[in-house]
Structure 1
Amino acid sequence: MRRFDQELSELHHQLIEMGTLAESMVSTTVRALEDLTLNIEESLQASEDMLDEMQNTIDKEVVRILTVYSPVATDLRYVLTVSHVTSSLERIGDQTTNVLRLLQLMMARSAAKPEPRIIQMGMAVKEMLHGAIGSYINRNAKEAEKYRNRDEYVDSLNDQIMREVLSEEVALEALQGEPNIAGPLAQILIARSLERIGDQACNICDQVPSLVATHS
Structure 2
Amino acid sequence: MKRFFDEELDLLREHLTTMGRLANEAVRLAIRALLQNDRATAEKVIAEDDALDRLETEIDTEGIRFLNLRSPVASDLRLIMVAMKASHDLERVGDEATNIAKRSLAIGEFSGLGIEEQLRKLADTVLEMLGDALQCFFTGDEQKAIAICTRDAEADRLNKEIYRHLAGTIADQPSHTTTALELMFVSKSLERIGDHATNLAEEVVFLVKGENISHDPEIKQAKLDHGSGD
TM-score under structure 1 length normalisation: 0.89
CA contact (8 A) 1:74 1:213 kept: no
AA partner of residue 95 (structure 1): E
- 1:108 and 1:173 mapped to 2: Cα distance? 16
After superposition, where does 1:179-194 map in structure 2 within 5 Å? 179-194=175-190
Give the Å deviation of 1:90.
0.2
Paired residue for 1:57? 58
- Match of residue 26 from structure 2: 25
Deviation per CA, 1:71-121, whole angstroms, max 9, x where unpaired? Answer: 242221111000110000000000001111122222289975753211111
User: Does structure 1 residue 208 correspond to structure 2 residue 204?
Assistant: yes
3-state SS of the aligned residue for 1:15?
helix
Contact kept, 8 Å, 1:95 with 1:197, in 2: the verdict is: yes
Residue 120 of structure 1 corresponds to which residue in structure 2?
Answer: 121
SS class of match (1:2): coil
The residue type paired with residue 199 of structure 2 is N
2:5 counterpart SS class: helix
Aligned 1:1-216 pairs, distance under 5 A: 1-107=2-108, 115-167=116-168, 170-171=170-171, 174=174, 179-213=175-209
Query: Would the aligned equivalents of 1:99 and 1:190 in 2 still touch at CA under 8 Å?
Result: yes
Name the structure 1 match of 2:224.
none
Per-residue CA deviations over 1:133-191 (Å, capped at 9, x if unaligned) read 00111001111112222211111111111111111x632665xxxx2511110111100
Q: Closer, same or farther in 2 for the Cα pair 1:42/1:113, shift >3 Å?
A: farther
The residue type equivalent to 2:186 in the other structure is: I
C-alpha root-mean-square deviation of aligned residues, in Å?
2.1
Q: Aligned letter for 1:202? A: T
TM-score, length basis structure 2:
0.84
* Bigger Cα displacement from structure 2, 115-124 vs 16-25: 115-124
Once the two structures are TM-superposed, the CA of residue 26 in structure 1 deviates from its matched residue by 0.9
C-alpha spacing 1:21/1:48, structure 2 compared with 1 (3 Å): same
Determine which structure has greater relative contact order: mean sequence separation of CA pairs < 8 Å that are 6+ residues apart, divided by chain length.
1
What SS class does the counterpart of residue 37 from structure 2 fall into? coil
Deviation above 4 Å: which 4+ runs of structure 1? 108-114
Question: 1:117, 1:161 within 8 Å by CA — same for their partners in 2?
Answer: yes
| AA partner of residue 74 (structure 2) | A
The alpha-carbon distance between structure 1 residues 172 and 30, as it changes in their structure 2 partners (threshold 3 A), is closer
Percent of pairs with identical residues: 33
The one-character-per-residue Cα deviations of 1:182-209 (angstroms, maximum 9, x if unpaired) are 1110111100000000000000001011
- Contact kept, 8 Å, 1:118 with 1:191, in 2: the verdict is yes
| Preserved CA contact (<8 Å) 1:30 1:123 | no
Aligned residue identity for 2:120? I
Measure, in 1, the Cα distance between the counterparts of 2:121 and 2:103: 17
Report if aligned partners of 2:35, 2:116 keep a CA contact under 8 Å in 1.
Answer: no
Q: How many residues are aligned here? A: 209
Structure 2 residue ranges without an equivalent (≥5): 211-230
**Offset at 1:34?**
2.4
Give me the whole-angstrom Cα distance separating, in 1, the residues matched to 2:115 and 2:171: 19
User: What displacement does 1:47 show?
Assistant: 2.3
